[in-house]
Structure 1
Amino acid sequence: MDELEFRRRIMSDPKERDGDIVEAIKADSANGKFAEDVLELDAHIAKAMAVDVPEDLVDRILFHQTSHSESNVIRPTFAKRAMATAASIAFVFGLLVGQVNWGNIVLPPAHASIEDIAIKHVMAEKPFVTGIDENVPSSQINAKMMPFDHQFEVNFPYHVYYLNHCGFGDTNALHMVFQGEKGKVTLFFTSMPSKQTVDFEQQGMAGVVEPIGNTSLILVGEDGENVANIAENIANIIKPMS
């Protein structure tokens, strides 16, 4: 299922979760985020449409009809005003769903640090990549590396469970999940530059940012994973494309 078909189906029924939809969500984290955002908007719209009906509404309608027969002046009823307001809210939300780039909303803003972006991205996408094992070959990894003008000069030395491109702050990144020395490690390779190597620990995870020319290699693993050692091994086999 392509992205347009996925978005069309989610927009038509935000609660739909058949086999194709579930597979599309697992295959691309952006799809999962989009589905969650549309579902949340659907809940907001439903709340906006849930207008409390006044107890004297019938009397007001009858009074309006009586008054209408005596005057040609048309005055909006409470119910009409309420429905118009709800419809306006629904219309605005519909425009937002169609026009806003949700990937840039759910990810941290551009001024956030690389390590903050990486941690939040890992936390957000963890439910969608857990249990996936695509057994990605090195040839496919290098194909995904091409937009960043870098390649692995030898086969990637770890088993790769998941591989894709993703939004990363205000740019894009290669997103990979592979088997580290103790557990699964998430790798981001992005054109966002970094000035120096940075080790960090957040939310029970350990990470490292390794500058490679004008690009950055970011690894995030479980606490206790020697991500610095893995980053050094990987950085040594990444070379600029000639």
Structure 2
Amino acid sequence: MDDLQFRRTIYADPKSQDEALLAALQADPTKKQFAQELNQLDDKIAQALNIPVPDDLSDKLILRQTLASHQVQKRKKRFHLALAASVAITAGLLVNFTLFSSAHSNLGDYALAHVYHEQGDFSNSDTARVDLTSLNKKMAAFNGNFTSSVGQLLSADYCRFDGMKSLHLVFQGKTSPVTVFVVPKNDQLSFSDSFSDNKLVGQSAAFDKANVIVVGDKNEPLSTWQEKLGNNISWSI
């Protein structure tokens, strides 16, 4: 067996029992030593690859797969929640735009829409009260001042009236809350001194600094409310 054939055979199978290979090993000590070294290397490789498999390997693999699947489901759930939140926000903005947009061309229509939008937020039996000092702190933003109380004030806060910063007051009425808006004057909404629908009635009064709008149910004497407001609000120059 020549050297080339010897190397091909020994590399292919160091433990080969081929007769020609065995004869070559017996005839040449160098080849025999080379074969021994190659066999030792082959044994070391076999030992290195002979790693015992842990008893709980299958359980660990199943657990890892389960955790990975759970993470995928969580990401999908977060995406669906984010999508639902986006839809809800968009719907809310659309409702607000529909209720409080330039579709309302006058003070009366806008005031009615505003009251209906917040109708469930106030009750005639609410016990909260706003004192005169707190009220006048907010009225100062409109250069106005209440000289005395005109009724039991349940709430006083700023609001957006057709995009304008306005004052939203809620008083205790005869049978249901009475809403008063103090709205800066502008040309976007036409003035309407009286307005109504099948449930609510309203009146507007124009002052130098602002329009004062009163909205209540049909049991409320709105003229009396407007008279009290006119007599108790002073406007700075």
Q: When the two structures are superposed, what TM-score results if normalisation uses the length of structure 1?
A: 0.54
- Cα distance in 2 for partners of 1:92, 1:182 equals 40
Find the counterpart in structure 1 of residue 115 from structure 2: 122
Report the Cα offset of residue 95 of structure 1: 9.8
Q: Is the 8 A contact 2:209 2:235 kept in 1?
A: no
Find the counterpart in structure 1 of residue 154 from structure 2: 161
Does residue 1:188 correspond to 2:176, yes or no? no
- Cα distance in 2 for partners of 1:126, 1:96 equals 21
Q: Which amino acid aligns with 2:203?
A: V
Q: Which amino acid aligns with 2:101?
A: P
Q: Which amino acid aligns with 2:132?
A: S
Structure 2 unaligned runs (5+)? Answer: 1-78
1:135 to 129, 132, 137: 129
Structure 2 SS opposite 1:133: coil
Report the Cα offset of residue 206 of structure 1: 1.1
Q: Is the alpha carbon distance of 1:96 and 1:214 closer, same or farther for their aligned partners in structure 2, counting shifts above 3 Å?
A: farther
Structure 1 unaligned runs (5+)? Answer: 1-86
Find the counterpart in structure 1 of residue 200 from structure 2: 205
- Mapping of residues 75-90 of structure 1, within 5 Å: none
Q: Which has the larger radius of gyration?
A: 2
Q: Which amino acid aligns with 2:151?
A: Y
Q: Is the 8 A contact 1:144 1:164 kept in 2?
A: yes
1:109 to 94, 101, 117: 101
Does residue 1:220 correspond to 2:215, yes or no? yes
- Cα distance in 1 for partners of 2:162, 2:235 equals 23
Find the counterpart in structure 1 of residue 167 from structure 2: 174
Does residue 1:148 correspond to 2:163, yes or no? no
Structure 2 SS opposite 1:167: strand
Q: Is the 8 A contact 1:133 1:162 kept in 2?
A: no
Q: Which amino acid aligns with 2:232?
A: I
- Mapping of residues 29-48 of structure 1, within 5 Å: none
1:230 to 225, 229, 232: 225
% same residue? 22
- Cα distance in 2 for partners of 1:186, 1:217 equals 10
Report the Cα offset of residue 211 of structure 1: 0.8
Report the Cα offset of residue 172 of structure 1: 2.0
Structure 2 SS opposite 1:105: helix
- Cα distance in 2 for partners of 1:103, 1:143 equals 32
Structure 2 SS opposite 1:120: helix
Q: Which amino acid aligns with 2:131?
A: P
Q: When the two structures are superposed, what TM-score results if normalisation uses the length of structure 2?
A: 0.55
- Cα distance in 1 for partners of 2:101, 2:200 equals 21
- Cα distance in 2 for partners of 1:183, 1:92 equals 36
Q: Is the alpha carbon distance of 1:104 and 1:150 closer, same or farther for their aligned partners in structure 2, counting shifts above 3 Å?
A: farther
- Cα distance in 2 for partners of 1:129, 1:181 equals 14
- Cα distance in 2 for partners of 1:171, 1:104 equals 14
For these two proteins, the number of residue pairs brought into alignment is: 157
Q: Is the alpha carbon distance of 1:214 and 1:195 closer, same or farther for their aligned partners in structure 2, counting shifts above 3 Å?
A: farther
